[in-house]
Amino acid sequence: MIHPQATPSTVKMGLPIPNSKLGMWLFLGTEIMFFTAFIGTYIVLRIGSPGWPDNPEVTHIEIWAGGTNTFVLILSSYFVVIAHEAMSKKNFRKARNFLGLTLLLAFLFLGIKSFEYYGKFQHDILPSHIPESNAQAIAKVERQLERIVMAEYDALFPDEPNMDIRRQKVASAEATEPEKTLKALDDEFQNLRSHISANVSMSAELNQREEIVKLKDGTQFTGFATSPPGADPIIYQLTAGGKRSVKKADIDVPMAGKEPPPINLDEVKEHIERMHEHPLYGSLVAHLEVSHPIMYGNIFASTYFLMTGFHALHVIIGIILFGIVLLQWNKLNESWSDWIENCGLYWHFVDLVWIFLFPLIYII
Amino acid sequence: MSDDHNAHHVRYGVIFIALCIFTSISVACDYIPRENKILIAFAVLAVATAKALCVMMFFMHLKFEGNWKFVLLAPTIILAMGIPLALMPDIAAHYYTVDIPQAEHAEIAHGDFNSSGSPAVEADR
C-alpha cells in the first residue's frame, strides 16, 4: 500500500560526524605527512652522520626547557578537553576559563621556545654559521675580525672609500686617538691574516725558515727564505750574512730544514683572548669569540630550526584559533561547540608532534 | 556536534597523570649513559608512542570513533613512512663508499669513523 505522505529515508550518506570535523581530520592527515617529512629526514640524516653532535654543552640544547614545554603542552591539551566537555554540558563560563588557560599555556610555550632560540642566536648556532673544522673556525674568526676592522674604517672615514688612503691617514702623524687605535687593530689583524694564509704558527715569524740548500753545482748554503712562497728566483738571507738569489732550477736537493709549525685553533683562541685585554682596541673586539667547530653542526642547526620552527608556527596558528573563540567572551554559546572541538583536535595534534620532537631532539 | 563523549565517560585526569608519568620517564632516560644509544632511542620512542596513543585515543577521542578513522589514517601513515624508508638506503644505511669531508676529518682526528660529542678536529689543512 502506498502512503500518501513520503516517509523520510533511513539511509544515511557520509560519516556520522560534522563536515567540519571530517575536514579537520583530513587536514590533520596532511599535517601528519608534513611533519613526518621533516622528522623522517632528520632521523635519516642523523643515522647517516656518524659524529652527529649530541653533547648538550656543544649544541646548547637544554632538557629542562624541552621537558617544561612538554608538560605545558600536555597540560594545555588536558585543559582543551575540559573546555570541550564543559561546552557539551553548556557550562560556557567554565569552557571560557579553560580555553583562556590553554591560551596562556600556549604563550608560555612560545616564551620558553623564544628563550631557547635566543640562546642559539647568541652562540651563533645557526645554519651556515657553524665551522665544522679547525680551519673553518680560524677562517670564520678572521672574517669576523675583518668585519670589525672595516666597520671601524667606515665609521671613521665615511666619505673616503679608498683603503690605501684610509691606511695612510691612520698611519700619519696627525692621526687622532681613535685612528691610532684603529691602526693598532688593523696591524694586528694583518699580522693574524698573514700567519693564517701562510699557515705559520703565531709563535713563529713569517718567512723565517732556516734551510740547508744544496745546489746542482755541488755547493750548499744555510739561510732563511725571504721571498713569498712560490717565488722564483728565491731570495735567501744567508745565516753567515748577506743575501743570495737562487733559481729553483739550480736547486739540487729539495729544501730541508725546520719548517715553522702550522697555525692551530688553540693559539688563535689565545691570541684573540690577548686582543680582548689590549688597552687600545680591546673594547672593539670584546664580543669577538672563536667559534667551537661542530662536525655536522650546520645540518644539525638546519634540521633543528626546521622542525621546531614549523612546530612553533603551528602553535601560533593554534593561538589565533583559540583567540577567535575567546573574543566571543560572554557571547560564547553552543554554536561554537564544533569550532572548539576542531580546535581541540588541532591542538592535540600540535601536542602529538611535540611528543615526538622532544625525545628526538632533546634526549636521543 | 558529536555527543559520543557523553556516552563514553573518559577520566581525562587519569590520562593527564599518565602522560606526566610518561614524560618523567622520558626525562629520566636522559640520565642513561650516552654510549647506550640504541637503548635510549628504544626507550624514549616507546614512551613517546605510548603518550601519542593516550592523546590520540582519549583526548582526540579516536577510541570511540567509527572505522572511518582507519580509512583516513592508514594511507597517511603509509605515505608518511614513505619518505624515511625511501631515503634510508642512500643516506642512512650507506651501502656504498662514503666520500664526505666530515668522515675524513673524523678519521684524521680520531682514527675511526664514529665519534660523538664533536670534539675539535685537529689536522685538516
Average pLDDT of chain A?
88
Interchain proximity A53–B16, CB inside 8 Å? no
Q: How far is CA A293 from the centre of its chain?
A: 12
Is residue B23 over pLDDT 90? yes
Is residue B4 over pLDDT 50? no
B86-101 residue pLDDT tens: 988 888 887 777 777 7
Interchain proximity B5–A362, CB inside 8 Å? no
pLDDT of the residue at B112: 42
pLDDT of the residue at A212: 80
Is residue A234 over pLDDT 90? no
What value of ipTM does the predicted structure carry?
Answer: 0.80
Interchain proximity B30–A70, CB inside 8 Å? no
Q: In this predicted model, which residue has the larger pLDDT, B72 or A211? A: B72
Most confident of A14-28, A80-94, B33-47: A80-94
Interchain proximity A359–B45, CB inside 8 Å? yes
Distance to chain B for A59, nearest Cα, Å: 9
3-state secondary structure string across chain B: CCCHHHHCCCCHHHHHHHHHHHHHHHHHHCCCCCCCHHHHHHHHHHHHHHHHHHHHHHHCCHHHCCCHHHHHHHHHHHHHHHHHHHHHHHHHHCCCCCCCHHHHHHHHHHCCCCCCCCCCCCCCC
A107-125 residue pLDDT tens: 999 999 999 999 999 989 9
Strand order from edge to edge, sheet including A234-238: A243-246, A234-238, A220-225, A210-214, A256-257
Q: How confident is the model at residue A72 (pLDDT cuts 50, 70, 90)?
A: very high
Average pLDDT of chain B?
78
Quote the CA–CA distance of A26 and A21 in Å, as a whole number.
9
% residues pLDDT > 70 (chain A):
93
Is residue B64 over pLDDT 80? yes
A302-324 residue pLDDT tens: 999 999 999 999 999 999 999 99
Quote the CA–CA distance of A97 and B102 in Å, as a whole number.
53
Distance to chain A for B11, nearest Cα, Å: 10
pLDDT of the residue at A315: 97
Contacting B residues, span 24-63, partner chain A, CB-CB under 8 Å: 26-27, 29-30, 34, 37, 40-41, 44-45, 47-48, 51-52, 55-56, 59-60
Contacting B residues, span 61-90, partner chain A, CB-CB under 8 Å: 65-66, 68-69, 72-73, 75-77, 79-81, 83-84, 87-88
CB-based contact (8 Å) between B17 and chain A? no
Q: How confident is the model at residue A1 (pLDDT cuts 50, 70, 90)?
A: low
% residues pLDDT > 90 (chain A):
55
The model carries a pTM of 0.79
Interchain proximity B121–A40, CB inside 8 Å? no
Quote the CA–CA distance of A50 and B116 in Å, as a whole number.
7
Cβ neighbours of A307 in B, within 8 Å: none
pLDDT of the residue at A36: 93
A248's grid cell = 729553483
Quote the CA–CA distance of A248 and A230 in Å, as a whole number.
10
Q: Which of A41-45, A86-90, A200-204 has the lowest mean pLDDT?
A: A200-204
Number of Cβ atoms within 10 Å of the Cβ of A31: 19
B88's grid cell = 634510508
Q: How confident is the model at residue A255 (pLDDT cuts 50, 70, 90)?
A: low
Residue type, A37: A
What are the DSSP calls for A166-189, one per residue? HHHHHHSTT--HHHHHHHHHHHHH
For B103-110, the CB contacts below 8 A with 24+ separation are B103/A50, B105/A132, B105/A133, B105/A295, B106/A50, B106/A51, B106/A295
pLDDT, average across residues A212-220 = 86
pLDDT of the residue at B116: 38
Given a contact cutoff of 8 angstroms between Cβ atoms, the answer to whether A358 and A66 are in contact is: yes
pLDDT of the residue at B120: 40
Q: How confident is the model at residue A301 (pLDDT cuts 50, 70, 90)?
A: very high
Q: Closest chain A residue to B79 measured between Cα atoms?
A: A33
pLDDT of the residue at B121: 41
Interchain proximity A88–B23, CB inside 8 Å? no
Q: How confident is the model at residue A253 (pLDDT cuts 50, 70, 90)?
A: low
